[in-house]
Structure 1
């Protein structure tokens, strides 16, 4: 098997290629301009999702083969992971995270490509096409960002932060909201809320220090592995944290593709306090 640096170079190249495909649909230059919007479990799926998924899978498999790796894409996933593969190396792919924002032209959409070893991500690429930025990370080596014009990557790290929770900005979903999440956000003392689509875009706002915290609470549905794995690694390798409310790490490639419960991502400041506060507030909700 190739080493992780070689694999990352392939994933970065594929990430930019997928971004090109998505932008051709987003800006109306694709040969087929009909997005053919359909719905899968109440979530929109377009021809752009499918075309980008096919591109990513074909190019990763051509470069890396199927002997060492399994490949899970949102657009091809059909069954529980423990039935679909037995590999300890699994690619988790969301070819278009933030399809609603893509359709509505908010610019909040991203490409997620993560390599999970056993149950944890060890390599990640997140591309924000409209920002012309690609974030990438290998476990233990930090997070870097590159643009199309500046391929020399710049390492990201958070500057020292002496602010209190009351000064924080929470980045929140444009569409995936429920009453329990609204209650939690109303009772946490954040100064501001910033609405952003796509988990990848939300995490990028934290890395770029435009926001401080992201919270997800599963309702009737939950974020999937491919929504979270790549954004988690680029955040944590930049110095942030991404855990369950009980401060335990997220697990991927298990027998459930869903990330149930409460998830909290932050710039790392006051993370444990925020987890405890979120847990206490939800206990009040449950007892009300």
Structure 2
């Protein structure tokens, strides 16, 4: 499936393009990502050791407090007071990047999607999405379509450097292409669609990734009609079923990443490079 490293690579490629610098390669990112997570695990282990040490010391501290309180009670009358508690809890550490057990994919059809994330609601809105149904070597395909979808999607203005902190990237690797028996031979939330048809001598074609219909809350009919409109068909809504649609269904293995996560990893890489220099 698409991995966090693939998403990091897209961010790194776009950032390098906008900052006019050389991008790290996919292999370099995969290597540093493994080191980055080992470092996180090491730090988490050190924090756990400190917590365990504090837990061992707490009984002794409590004995001292109880002893002081006993001495005070013999010479003064009871009074109300505040109690100080020593919390030994530490934030849970989430390592979503544990290695996948699946075989590593090196070549695949793919799409790169850029979204803008609202700082208030956290909701996302599409900022660019372009891909290919031709299998690509991922190091070349991801870097190419990361930039193409960011600056050459004609529905939007090119993404600028100042927009980077507000972005989310999603990488979808496409699999399991199958010809549908009919226009309804697919499942919402499972399949993406690629349609093609001819009407009045003109050829049309368009696609939706597997998550589109589910996110929009569309029925199958609404999805197909919207997809025909996306392809440029302007016929009457009630006439869509009279069009002879060829429908190919496929599945997508998707992962996504927001800029703050990329920035945290990139800062770690910069610090590691400086330490080695």
TM-score by length of 1: 0.26
Q: Larger Rg: 1 or 2?
A: 2
Question: Between Structure 1 and Structure 2, which shows a larger proportion of helix residues?
Answer: 2
TM-score by length of 2: 0.27
Q: Which has the higher contact order (CA 8 A, sep 6+)?
A: 2
